[in-house]
């Protein structure tokens, strides 16, 4: 590992892997940093070590990752797993914690490929042990081959919900109920994007087939399935005991020791915010995403963003985006002439466009429903500091609409997660109470260190730096 | 009851989860000083999930019991002490032979 590079890529999912491989193949000095122990990101998590049994359950969409890994291993850029990046700067400095000590690396260009996360949506009881995300369950299976042995309820909306249900059926897990919260009317409102989506007919059919297969499996196993579900509630004393919900005027309740929730996927912007990338609001999916051009260039000349971090488009697109970013950087570093760049980027751009065709349809179908953040007053919103929806509404009613101010007054967003979990909800509560549209509010700032580092480690890191200079 | 692959029992309780058909190499970790045999290569979060009353840490402000929520490094609800170092995210750490893991009930020594 050197101290300085042509480019440092942060995050070893499909975008980071493809980007670093492409750059290394062009003869550039590249380092790929990642907080996990093995490459793959969330989608291809643990792909280098999963058993054939795991791969069979996870299917083709997962084993696709083997090709990405193969290209990456051939190109062999410097790769540092288990590195927690806690600060990055627009001048190309990166501070990271690795094996109990912190150090600084520098590069001419930074590529932030930190991916996406599940949209955190507070509801009563969501802090109880036993409540997890669908993606979280999927990760447990990918990295540890774990499956629930006691009743599990799956609730929410989006393709990942069905995918996880499919896997759990394959694993014979005791599913107590599947609660789909997608409002039926979104099937109609999203239909206008259908013609464009049909450009990728095969892709759409795969999704349709997956959902049909889960429904069939549910029927066979007599697992209750409800549509149009609302008012999810986790009930229990210090751990989950049951899940309540409503469906039309029916009251539902299922005994369960695990509740898996999913309400869509949003870019993970923590590092992007900390470094100072400008963001734009997406009114359909209702999230902030960095303002980037087609190769991921941001408002900061040395900083690029690639993959789902730019906008959630899925694994294949992330790979293409990573490659396009690499080509743009290689051009700036004069490793590619204008003409070579054009030649090489054109086919990748075309593949990306094709991949993106069904996205407007999917984004509209699984848009966050209108009442998603109609959180009851008594529900906890900020998990770390225990701030309720009611308390946030009170503060907003007093005239505060900036999450940064709200944080300094009631500590909402001040805990270890630094607002990663409450950010989406606070934004929506502010919009609900003040009438100020989300895009006009000031997003929450992220201050370094954005990952836990002990004061001791910070002090030592600074010493190292002065020693060197 | 559904059939599972080889089920591992941890010595400190009954899990709500089982390892599905993992290779049989195991390592011994110490959870709250009690030795536990777990499959090698799994994460600390997976090794501890679903045991006893299921909690990993307590919330910073209200001391409520908490357990992993995201399993991908963003929620910080899986904070444990590993080999004497606090604030480790259990969902990001693979188990190691002889590793000592403790539940974490306070946040300390932290610039946050
Ligand atoms: S479970 Fe969310 S950070 Fe580990």
Indicate whether A217 and A237 sit together in one domain: yes
Rounded Cα–Cα distance for residues A304 and A110 (Å) = 6
CB atoms within 10 A of CB A343: 11
Rounded Cα–Cα distance for residues B26 and A420 (Å) = 35
Domain membership of residue A215 (yes or no) is yes
Indicate whether A128 and A112 sit together in one domain: no
Domain membership of residue A447 (yes or no) is no
Domain count, chain A: 3
Q: What is the CATH number of the domain that holds A195?
A: 3.50.50.60
**B78 close to ligand 1 (CB < 6 Angstrom):** yes
Q: What is the CATH number of the domain that holds A401?
A: 1.10.10.1100
Indicate whether A146 and A216 sit together in one domain: yes
Atom of ligand 1 nearest to the CA of A417: 3
Which 83-112 residues of chain B touch chain A by CB within 8 A? 85-87, 89, 91-94, 107, 109-112
Residue B107's pLDDT is 66
Which 176-215 residues of chain A touch chain B by CB within 8 A? none
Domain membership of residue A352 (yes or no) is no
Assess contact for A110 and A7: CB atoms under 8 A. Answer: yes
Query: CB-based burial of residue A351 (10 Å sphere; 0-12 exposed, 13-18 middle, 19+ buried)?
Result: middle
Domain membership of residue A429 (yes or no) is yes
Considering only CA atoms, which residue is closest to atom 3 of ligand 1?
B73
| ipTM reported for the complex, 2 dp | 0.94
Distance A235 CA to ligand 1 centre (A): 21
Planar angle of CA A365, A211, A153, nearest 5 degrees: 95
Domain membership of residue A209 (yes or no) is yes
Domain membership of residue A179 (yes or no) is yes
Q: Are the beta carbons of B70 and A414 separated by less than 8 Å?
A: no
Find tokens 């179908």 and name the residue: A365
Q: How far is CA A409 from CA A268, A324, A387, A419, in A?
A: 25, 43, 11, 14
Beta strands A131-133 and A258-263, pairing class: parallel
Residue B108's pLDDT is 55
Find, in chain B, the residue whose alpha carbon is nearest to that of A41: B72
Residue A394's domain spans which residues? 380-436
Domain membership of residue A454 (yes or no) is no
Instruction: Please write the tens of the pLDDT for every residue from A38-76.
Output: 999 999 999 999 999 999 999 999 999 999 999 999 999
End position of a domain, from candidates A263, A279, A297: A263
User: What is the mean pLDDT of the segment spanning A196-220?
Assistant: 90
pLDDT band at A245 (very low <50, low <70, confident <90, very high): very high
Q: Are the beta carbons of A133 and B70 separated by less than 8 Å?
A: yes
Indicate whether A257 and A126 sit together in one domain: yes
Assess contact for A177 and A223: CB atoms under 8 A. Answer: yes
Closest by CA to A7, choosing from A97, A84, A95, A105, is A105
Assess contact for A154 and A70: CB atoms under 8 A. Answer: no
Indicate whether A16 and A61 sit together in one domain: yes
Assess contact for A170 and A213: CB atoms under 8 A. Answer: no
Domain membership of residue A365 (yes or no) is no
Instruction: Please write the tens of the pLDDT for every residue from A261-272.
Output: 999 999 999 999
End position of a domain, from candidates A317, A336, A355: A336
Indicate whether A408 and A285 sit together in one domain: no
Rounded Cα–Cα distance for residues A287 and A282 (Å) = 5
Indicate whether A280 and A235 sit together in one domain: no
Instruction: Please write the tens of the pLDDT for every residue from A434-445.
Output: 999 988 998 899
Q: Are the beta carbons of B39 and A145 separated by less than 8 Å?
A: yes
pTM of the shown model: 0.94
Assess contact for B55 and B21: CB atoms under 8 A. Answer: no
Domains, chain B, in order of start with CATH, read 6-103 (3.10.20.440)
Q: Are the beta carbons of A141 and B20 separated by less than 8 Å?
A: yes
Find, in chain B, the residue whose alpha carbon is nearest to that of A380: B62
Distance B74 CA to ligand 1 centre (A): 6
Q: Does residue A411 come out as left (phi exceeding 0), alpha (psi in the -120 to 50 range) or beta?
A: left
Mutate to test the pocket of ligand 1, among B78, B94, B101 (most ligand atoms within 8 A of CB): B78
Residue B14's pLDDT is 60
Indicate whether A224 and A153 sit together in one domain: yes
Indicate whether A126 and A71 sit together in one domain: no
Residue A322's pLDDT is 98
Strands (E) across A34-80 are located at 78-80
Closest by CA to A428, choosing from A122, A117, A118, is A122
Instruction: Please write the tens of the pLDDT for every residue from A362-411.
Output: 999 999 999 999 999 999 999 999 999 999 999 999 999 999 999 999 99
Residue A465's pLDDT is 53
Indicate whether A27 and A84 sit together in one domain: yes
End position of a domain, from candidates A336, A362, A397: A336
Q: B34 pairs with which residues across the strands?
A: B31
pLDDT at B11 over 70: no
Indicate whether A160 and A250 sit together in one domain: yes
Rounded Cα–Cα distance for residues A280 and A79 (Å) = 31
Interface test with B, best of A96, A148, A170, A416 (most B CBs within 10 A): A416
Residue A464's pLDDT is 59
Q: A133 pairs with which residues across the strands?
A: A261
Indicate whether A192 and A307 sit together in one domain: no
Structure tokens at B61: 């402000």
């Amino acid at each position: 590992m050197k101290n300085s590079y042509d480019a440092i890529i942060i995050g070893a999912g499909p975008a980071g892997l493809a980007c670093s491989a492409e750059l290394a193949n062009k003869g550039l000095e590249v380092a790929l940093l990642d907080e996990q122990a093995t490459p793959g990101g969330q989608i291809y998590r643990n792909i280098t070590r999963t058993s054939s049994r795991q791969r069979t359950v996870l299917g083709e969409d997962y084993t696709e990752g083997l090709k990405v890994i193969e290209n990456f291993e051939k190109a062999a850029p410097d790769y540092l797993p288990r590195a927690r990046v806690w600060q990055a700067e627009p001048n190309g400095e990166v501070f990271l914690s690795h094996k109990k000590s912190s150090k600084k690396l520098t590069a001419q260009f930074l590529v932030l490929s930190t991916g996406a996360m599940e949209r955190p949506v507070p509801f009563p009881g969501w802090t109880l042990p036993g409540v997890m995300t669908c993606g979280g369950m999927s990760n447990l299976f990918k990295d540890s081959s774990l499956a629930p042995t006691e009743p599990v309820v799956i609730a929410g909306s989006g393709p990942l919900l069905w995918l996880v249900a499919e896997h759990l059926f394959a694993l014979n897990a005791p599913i107590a109920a599947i609660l789909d919260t997608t409002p039926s009317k979104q099937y109609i409102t999203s239909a206008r994007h259908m013609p464009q989506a049909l450009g990728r007919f095969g892709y759409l059919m795969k999704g349709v087939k997956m959902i049909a297969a889960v429904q069939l499996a549910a029927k066979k196993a007599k697992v209750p399935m409800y549509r149009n579900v609302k008012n999810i509630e986790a009930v229990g004393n210090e751990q989950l005991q049951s899940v309540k919900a409503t469906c039309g005027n029916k009251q539902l309740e299922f005994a369960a020791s695990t509740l898996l929730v999913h309400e869509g996927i949003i870019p993970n912007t923590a590092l992007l915010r900390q470094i100072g990338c400008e963001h734009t609001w997406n009114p359909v999916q209702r999230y902030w995403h960095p303002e980037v051009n087609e190769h991921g260039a941001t408002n900061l000349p040395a900083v690029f963003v690639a993959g789902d971090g730019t906008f959630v488009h899925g694994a294949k697109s992330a790979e293409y985006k990573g490659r396009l970013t690499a080509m743009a950087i290689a051009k700036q570093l004069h490793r590619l002439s204008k003409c070579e760049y054009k030649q090489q980027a054109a086919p990748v751009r075309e593949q990306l466009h094709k991949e993106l065709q069904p996205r407007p349809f999917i984004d509209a179908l699984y848009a966050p429903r209108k009442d998603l953040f109609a959180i009851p007053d008594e529900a906890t919103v900020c998990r770390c500091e225990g701030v309720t929806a009611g308390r946030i509404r009170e503060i907003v009613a007093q005239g505060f609409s900036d999450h940064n101010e709200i944080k300094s007054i009631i500590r909402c967003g001040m805990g270890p997660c630094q607002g990663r979990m409450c950010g989406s909800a606070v934004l929506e509560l502010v919009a609900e109470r003040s009438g100020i549209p989300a895009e006009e509010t000031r997003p929450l700032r992220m201050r370094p260190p954005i990952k836990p580092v002990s004061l001791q480690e910070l002090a030592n890191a600074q010493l190292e730096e002065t020693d060197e200079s | 009851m559904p059939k599972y692959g080889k089920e591992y029992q941890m010595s400190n309780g009954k899990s709500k989860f089982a390892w599905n058909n993992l290779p049989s190499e195991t390592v011994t970790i110490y959870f709250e000083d009690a030795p536990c045999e777990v499959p090698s290569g799994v994460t600390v979060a997976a090794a501890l999930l679903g045991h006893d009353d299921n909690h990993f840490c307590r919330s910073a402000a209200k001391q409520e019991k908490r357990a992993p929520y995201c399993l991908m490094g963003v929620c910080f609800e899986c904070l444990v002490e590993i080999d004497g170092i606090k604030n480790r995210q259990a969902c990001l750490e693979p188990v190691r032979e002889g590793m000592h893991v403790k539940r974490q009930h306070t946040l300390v020594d932290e610039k946050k």
